[in-house]
Amino acid sequence: MNSIIERQVVQTNPLIEARKCMNLSELRLFILGLQDVKPHIKDDTIHDLEFHDTIITPSELKELFADNDGGVANLKRHIKRAFDGKIELSDGCGGFVLYHIYQKMHYYPEKGLLIKFDDEMKPYILDILGKAYTTYSIKTVFPLSSEYAWRLLESLLEKQGFLKQGYKKVYCDLTVEEVRFRLNVPEGLYSGRMDNFKNRVLDLPIRDINKKTEYKVWYDVIKTGRKITGFRFWLAQKEETKQIPAPVVSEQKNDELDAEQQAYLSHLQDRGVNPTKTVIKYLKTIPLDELREEERAVIGSKDTATNLAGLIISAFKNRYAKTAKETKKQAEAAEEAKRQERREAYDAFYGTETAKISKKEASALSALNELFVFEQESNENDALTDFEADLIKAKGEKAGALVIRHMEKLGLTVDDVINGKRN
């Protein structure tokens, strides 16, 4: 089963460039929340319409807070700080706007931490069709040991598309003020002490990036006169990582599934769901948005049972049974409609006489009706039957849709039938 840190996350570039008022643990928590969001990037792909509940499992939480004193014992303190976090964006007019990040956080000792993003975050991590955005895997930033390194690398990853196009290196020019803003350097810290600023805010974090990631980062200073007013940051991929193939999504890849279904199967495996034949069947026969709806209902329920995978499979089973029942009902209704259409052709001829006959005659008439239906289904490519010919002679174009269709399929007109033609 793939580790959660292998997953891709997406943010709009304005969110990448925003001031994220978070420490390292809060940044990790934020990015783990993003891994379960499917943003609207392309028109022809399935995507989330609303934010849903995301579960970060106890094992993932343990990994998240492994470097903090007290570990999971201080989880409540970490979660409360994360929930109070905010982002600050420039409004483009010299002002700024603050956004709350999360709508709710609910910690279950057995299942883990449930989080849901605030709807104000939709334009930055969900509804991003047609906007500039940055995609990277969680493992790219997760090993970093400082928030400065994390934020700096995110900013440079905006340019990674040029590396994929064959450029050996890319750069990003930022003023000192922009660096302080993006890296969330506290107001007044290292002001007037550029050597300390470069050492603490740039040099140490860059060494962290160069040691723990597939990228190499360095910078040149930009001066106005003798004063340092900005920096040109360079990004290149390390030579030893350039030829490494992309990681396989899952060893359990199933050729029966398309890419979208396979991606969701990988997600389910992270929930503890084994890729059995039954699970594959559910993915192939039930729309993914319906399966996600069932999964969210399970996660959002009050049940704190530890068997999350079992609950998800049970929900899928119920949805499959419901879908199968509805499909059968629709097929039966379609068949009955087809038969009714044929009966109406019969009734078009005999309808005026039906009210005048006895029950015995009505029973015989009903049997004849069924025989007519059978004949219509069995002999559609043969010559017109005597029954059809009589019906056309008596009713003309009003003989019934199926009879007229049969007549026209044989290349006949009403006059042809009246004149004795049958094929």
In tens, the pLDDT along 188-236 reads: 888 878 999 999 999 999 999 999 999 999 999 999 998 999 999 999 9
**pLDDT tens-place string over residues 335-354:** 777 767 666 655 655 554 44
Q: Cβ–Cβ contacts within 10 Å for residue 198, how many?
A: 17
Task: Determine, yes or no, domain membership for 92.
Answer: yes
What pLDDT, on a 0 to 100 scale, did the predictor assign at position 396? 83
What pLDDT, on a 0 to 100 scale, did the predictor assign at position 242? 54
Task: Give yes or no for residue 373 having a pLDDT over 60.
Answer: no
Task: Determine, yes or no, domain membership for 204.
Answer: no
What pLDDT, on a 0 to 100 scale, did the predictor assign at position 121? 93
Q: H-helix or E-strand containing 112?
A: strand 112-117
Contact by Cβ (8 Å): 406, 342: no
For the chain, count helices (H), then strands (E): 19, 11
Per-residue pLDDT band at 374 (split at 50, 70, 90): very low
Per-residue pLDDT band at 307 (split at 50, 70, 90): low
* Residue (of 240, 241, 238, 244) closest to 216 by Cα position: 238
Greater confidence, 130 or 346?
130
Q: Which of 142, 169, 191 is the last residue of a domain?
A: 142
Q: Which of 142, 176, 201 is the last residue of a domain?
A: 142
What pLDDT, on a 0 to 100 scale, did the predictor assign at position 257? 77
Per-residue pLDDT band at 356 (split at 50, 70, 90): very low
Structural domains of the chain, count: 2
Where residue 80 sits, what CATH number does that domain have? 1.10.10.10
Q: Which of 142, 168, 199 is the last residue of a domain?
A: 142
Task: Determine, yes or no, domain membership for 4.
Answer: yes
Contact by Cβ (8 Å): 146, 24: yes
Q: What is the pTM of this model?
A: 0.56
What pLDDT, on a 0 to 100 scale, did the predictor assign at position 104? 92
Arithmetic mean of pLDDT, 290-317:
73
Structural domain span for residue 365: 331-418
Task: Determine, yes or no, domain membership for 222.
Answer: no
Task: Determine, yes or no, domain membership for 27.
Answer: yes
Task: Determine, yes or no, domain membership for 210.
Answer: no
Arithmetic mean of pLDDT, 323-343:
76
Task: Give yes or no for residue 101 having a pLDDT over 90.
Answer: yes
Q: What is the spatial distance between Cα 417 and Cα 390, in angstroms, rounded to a whole number?
A: 9
What average pLDDT does the structure give for the chain? 79
Greater confidence, 213 or 321?
213
Contact by Cβ (8 Å): 220, 231: yes
Arithmetic mean of pLDDT, 293-309:
65
The segment with the largest mean pLDDT, out of 55-69, 84-98, 177-191, is 177-191
The residues with which 40 forms a beta bridge, in sequence order, are 127
Task: Determine, yes or no, domain membership for 286.
Answer: no
Task: Determine, yes or no, domain membership for 344.
Answer: yes
Torsion of CA 180, 184, 190, 196, to 10 degrees: -90
> Could you give the C-alpha distances from 279 to 262, 295, 311, in angstroms and in order?
12, 13, 13
Greater confidence, 115 or 165?
115
Share of the chain above pLDDT 70, in %: 79
Contact by Cβ (8 Å): 415, 392: no
